[in-house]
């Protein structure tokens, strides 16, 4: 019996050298039955381990037929639909959650995150940047940067405009998956690999990077950097920032607990516990000196913000007289306006 971490059938785009630019997996899944593995061995000569298997249209049709006979109805439907694709076809098998070695493996893991099959920090993505090419994302799909000029000229000669929406290693999530129960005002600001919990609203200035996102209901008008996970019923105000592992957080995993509020233009460089509030405009780094204010409003101690990492029920504010950062017990947790943020 072969244990399988993840399996998916997909179609994607390659450059003129046959290198993968992107892969779309309509129905990625965790695990796969032994019947599926046996069919892959017979049709695509799967030899075991983590492997990316190229498939022809005919092979995909055969897979559909055999999956159907084996009682794998959903896979059969996906394979049959993909068999009509004029783009390259692929079957990706991940026996283990190991460091990816190919772009299709990276794309499968990004899909697992955005399909809510795995949560941020629970799948291995080490070395992924070196496997992804810098791509021009256009109205005609993904184009290798080195081939863009020729494609633009060809389009103009034919009286068309080739519009380039972005130049990046990552596409926007909504072109691959739109999870149930979310609102995204500006889809270009959510990358594939983001995990958006049901009930999340991403406003126009909100941003969510890969391997990051929200546990559930949340209002995001600020930035969720790579690696940052935001708890249920939290609110990130306009222009606020969370320091990610790619932007200064280093080995420290920044997170936001439940029912937190990070005010407009504020920011955090430490993980927050539950029911914490950061005053608008206040940026807290790990080395920030924070004054602890007791129940009588008096100074009790001075610590670095890192010493408060992960602690709940804290209110961070700036003293308007001397400019010192103060922290005291947060007496009123926020409550999102559920009527305003309803998604039905």
Q: Which positions are catalytic?
A: 221
Give residue for tokens 């079957």: 91
CA distances from 115 to 34, 53, 173, 196, 335 (A): 23, 22, 10, 9, 27
Phi-psi region of 296 (alpha: psi -120 to 50; beta: other; left: phi over 0): alpha
Phi-psi region of 193 (alpha: psi -120 to 50; beta: other; left: phi over 0): left
d(CA 243, CA 253) in angstroms, rounded, equals 9
d(CA 29, CA 6) in angstroms, rounded, equals 6
Assigned token pair, 269? 């460089």
Under a CB-based contact definition with an 8 Å cutoff, are residues 249 and 243 in contact? yes
d(CA 203, CA 179) in angstroms, rounded, equals 16
DSSP H/E element including 267: strand 267-268
Cross-strand partners of 200:
218
Q: How far is CA 103 from the centre of its chain?
A: 16
How is residue 10 annotated by DSSP? E
Under a CB-based contact definition with an 8 Å cutoff, are residues 88 and 14 in contact? yes
d(CA 247, CA 306) in angstroms, rounded, equals 17
Q: How far is CA 95 from the centre of its chain?
A: 22
d(CA 33, CA 29) in angstroms, rounded, equals 11
């Amino acid at each position: 019996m072969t244990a399988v971490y993840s399996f998916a059938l997909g179609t994607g785009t390659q450059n003129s050298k046959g290198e993968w630019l992107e892969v779309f997996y309509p129905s990625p899944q965790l695990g796969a039955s032994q019947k599926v593995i046996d069919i892959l061995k017979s049709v695509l000569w799967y030899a075991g381990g983590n492997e990316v298997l190229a498939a022809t249209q005919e092979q995909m049709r055969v897979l559909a037929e055999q999956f159907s006979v084996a009682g794998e109805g959903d896979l059969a439907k996906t394979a049959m639909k993909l068999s009509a694709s004029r783009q390259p076809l692929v079957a990706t098998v991940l026996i283990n959650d190991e460091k990816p070695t190919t772009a299709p493996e990276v794309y499968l893991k990004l899909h697992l995150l955005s399909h809510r099959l795995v949560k941020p920090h629970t799948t291995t993505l080490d070395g992924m940047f070196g496997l992804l090419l810098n791509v021009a994302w256009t109205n005609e799909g993904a184009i290798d940067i080195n081939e863009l000029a020729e494609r633009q000229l060809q389009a103009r000669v034919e009286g068309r405009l080739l519009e380039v929406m972005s130049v990046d290693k990552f596409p926007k999530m909504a072109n691959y998956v739109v999870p149930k129960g979310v609102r995204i005002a500006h889809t270009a600001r959510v990358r594939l690999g983001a995990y958006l919990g049901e009930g999340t609203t991403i406003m126009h200035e909100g941003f969510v990077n890969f391997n990051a996102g929200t546990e559930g209901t949340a209002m995001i008008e600020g930035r969720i950097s790579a690696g940052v996970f935001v708890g249920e019923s939290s609110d990130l105000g306009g222009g606020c920032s969370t320091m990610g592992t790619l932007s200064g957080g280093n080995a420290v995993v920044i997170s936001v607990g439940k029912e937190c509020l990070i005010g407009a233009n504020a920011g955090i460089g430490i993980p927050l516990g539950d029911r914490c509030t950061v005053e608008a405009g206040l940026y807290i780094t790990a080395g920030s000196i924070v004054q602890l204010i007791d129940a009588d409003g008096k100074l009790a101690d001075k610590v670095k913000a890192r010493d408060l990492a992960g602690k709940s029920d804290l209110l961070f504010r700036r003293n308007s007289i001397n400019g010192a950062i103060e922290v005291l017990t947060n007496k009123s947790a926020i409550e999102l306006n559920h009527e305003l943020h309803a998604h039905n």
